[in-house]
Amino acid sequence: MRLLNATTRQLEEFVVEEKIPPYAILSHTWGKAADEVKLQDLSDSKVKEKPRYQKIDYCCKQALQDGYQWVWIDTCCIDKTSTAELSEAINSMFRWYQRSYVCYVYLADVSDAALDDLENSLEFTKSRWFTRGWTLQELIAPEDMVFFSSTWRSLGTKKELVSLLSSITRVWVPYLLDWTRYSGDGNPCIAQIMSWAAERKTTRVEDKTYCLLGLFDINMPLLYGRAGSHSSGYRKSC
């Protein structure tokens, strides 16, 4: 697992899982790929000029404020030029979010005005974050989660907002609060998990399947370009 040092903004790889230090993790939605800060960009002296660098800065500063020296951010902690590394990361993603000490959710399309009445704020309830495939497991896996507006003002924690989050996502409250405790032995059933993801979008069609691997507790090699080759195995009823 590769982590970003929140102080130096340098990457470090941790090979032995038991030696991975406490870390914060970021959940967000991507903008244009060219605007995002990738692993290779961190060595560029002009990296701070990239349009999406600000959310990395927000995340690192918040982590340090909360007492965490390390952060994990998908855009810059995975070498996406390596097929093997990308495959390992996608298969490990649920576990990485689950083992984080805190998850920061950055809602780039939610203004501070939403704080006045979050339950009735269309900005919050219709945020793009709730429409993406990958963010379903990112919502469920972490125990501690804090939501932030576009200017990085706290909107509340998952525990504080759990009833509203359940209403938006149709995910049962106990699953949101403690997936490890309440999942297993066929609960929730495959059809139920797929119903949560049914209206969510992914950039690549194969990711409609891959973004659910952690929720199904499945590990498999990635086969991009063969859309639908795995999804049929999920089609079981409750």
Angstrom distance (rounded) from CA 60 to CA 192: 36
Residue 136 domain flag: yes
Domain coverage including residue 146: 2-177
pLDDT band at 224 (very low <50, low <70, confident <90, very high): confident
Residue 221 domain flag: no
Predicted local confidence at residue 221, as pLDDT: 85
Predicted local confidence at residue 223, as pLDDT: 79
Residue 63 domain flag: yes
Angstrom distance (rounded) from CA 127 to CA 168: 10
pTM over 0.85: yes
Residue 164 domain flag: yes
Number of domains making up the chain? 1
Angstrom distance (rounded) from CA 119 to CA 85: 40
Residue 235 domain flag: no
Residue 211 domain flag: no
Q: What is the pLDDT of residues 91-112, one digit of tens each?
A: 999 999 999 999 999 999 999 9
